[in-house]
Amino acid sequence: MNKHSEPTRPADEQQVTLRSPAELADALPFLMGFHPSDSIVLVALHGGEGRFGGRLRLGIPRSPREWAPVSEQLAACLVEGSERRGSRPDGIVAFLCQDPGEGSTGRGVRDRLQPLAQLIRTGFGGLDIPVHEVLCISDGRFWSYCCPDTRCCPPEGTPLALPGTSVMAAASTYAGIQVRGSLREMEARLEPWRGSPDKAAKQERALDEAAAALVPMILGGGDREEVAASTLRTARGLLDRLAQTPPAPPRRGEGGEGTGGGTDAADDRLITDDEAATVIIGLQDRETRDRAAQWMEGPDAEAALRLWRALARRCVGSYAEHAVPPLTLAGWVAWSCGDEPVARVALGLALRLDPTYTFAQLLHQAFNEGLDPETLRRCMRAERVATAGPVPRRQRQSTTKQARRAMKRVVGKSTIKKAMAKKEAPRTVPSPRSRPGAPGTRGRAAGRAGQKKGTKSGR
């Protein structure tokens, strides 16, 4: 068996040593804060003990043709991030997590993902960093791609430990580390409404009407500030309404914090379709979104996270891509409050919808770099001061650009710098009927407003 000694310190006085693939598999949910699914998870190891360092998670690409470039990019990203934090990794542990589809088995998943495991090993090998272990976790079992000993790693796989029975589980409970359920459950709290076609259709009609009224004003320039003020006024009212209403408890029989259930349904009832549509369309404007991002701490933070989560769920039908700003804001507020699992999931969903969305790229990079969010909070506070009071628009834009440049310096990655350079260019809002990945966009509401084609906005 491949031996491992990777201590993790959830508290300064604690140290847990993991010495086997079984213990590594059991530790994964505690490392991430949730049970990953359909995921590649990479964890950097440092020093002779194999101390846990930076970690990355990415959805497993559906096409095997994407596996090679993705493996190389992930390896480079994890190594560069670790070096910026102070030291190059001395080793890597990787996890491939995917449940079997209909007619398949966990062992079938193991066999199908074996080429991906090899590509991950060669990707890090090209950087002279050994991969000590690659585990496949599927259908309640795990397999090692690195251990050839069938006595400890049998072909049929090894059952995962019962939840809460391991040393890692006990140490994590003592340290206050929670597992929020599955990744799928956490994503469901941020994804568009499902189950009631009439409910979704009503919200989509409200979005059509809001887009028809607001998009021409944003694109026209002269009325853009009026739309921003109206959007922020409505959003502030919703935030205060949520703050005055304690979160409803989950329904009986529902999971823990990973599943919203009754909590999210109660929040949805506090927001009308027209209010949601007004704010969703208004947030497509970059400057409006930046000003909304200032609600990230103190008494505003919890209600803001509930608001952005609720608005992301309202981006139904062909408005799915309009969820990117509220998802990014949810990720930012969660990270600012120290809730790393929620931040990781929200920013991942935003980048899944629009991989080029620069604000989400910036935050995701800073988060994975292990930066202190206080540095970015200071930038937001500076922007809040700049936007307060009767400041001329040109002067306000200059100050907010200075704050964004400060954020870029904090992250400091060349690819993000290039993307942020594009961010400063004037932008418009997406076509109201655009769909993620569509080669072109034509919108019903935008057409009524005299717009023939929509483009993305709000980077």
Residues facing 159 on adjacent strands: 141
pLDDT at position 391 is 47
pLDDT at position 406 is 57
User: Comparing C-alpha atoms, which of 190, 182, 198 is closest to residue 307?
Assistant: 190
Tokens describing residue 334: 């969660």
Residue 70, H or E segment: helix 67-85
Tokens describing residue 316: 């139904």
- Torsion angle (degrees, nearest 10) of CA 257, 259, 262, 266: 80
pLDDT at position 449 is 35
Amino acid, single-letter form, for residue 208: D
Give the CA distances from residue 198 to residues 191, 210, 310, in Å, rounded to whole numbers and listed in that order: 17, 19, 18
pLDDT at position 443 is 35
Residues facing 96 on adjacent strands: 40, 136
Q: Which residues contact 303 (CB under 8 A, 6 or more apart)?
A: 239, 240, 242, 243
Q: What is the pLDDT along the chain (459 residues), one digit of tens a residue?
A: 443 333 334 334 456 566 677 778 888 887 787 888 889 999 999 988 778 888 888 889 989 999 999 999 999 989 988 887 788 999 999 999 998 988 889 999 999 999 999 999 999 999 999 999 999 999 989 999 998 888 888 889 989 876 554 555 555 554 556 666 778 888 888 999 887 889 999 999 999 999 999 998 888 766 888 999 999 999 999 999 999 988 877 654 444 444 455 778 899 999 999 999 999 999 999 889 999 999 988 888 999 999 999 999 999 999 999 999 999 999 999 999 888 888 989 999 999 999 899 899 888 888 777 778 887 888 778 777 666 654 455 545 544 455 556 555 555 543 333 333 333 333 445 554 443 333 333 233 333 333 333 334 445
pLDDT at position 178 is 62
Residue 284, H or E segment: none
pLDDT at position 176 is 55
The span from the CA of 145 to the CA of 169, in Å, is 24
430: DSSP letter: P
Q: With contact defined as beta carbons under 8 Å apart, do 132 and 159 qualify? A: no
Helical axes 414-423 vs 393-411, angle rounded to 10°: 170
The single residue listed with the structure tokens 């306000």 is 396
The span from the CA of 264 to the CA of 99, in Å, is 27
pLDDT at position 366 is 80
The span from the CA of 122 to the CA of 67, in Å, is 12
- Torsion angle (degrees, nearest 10) of CA 209, 211, 213, 219: -170
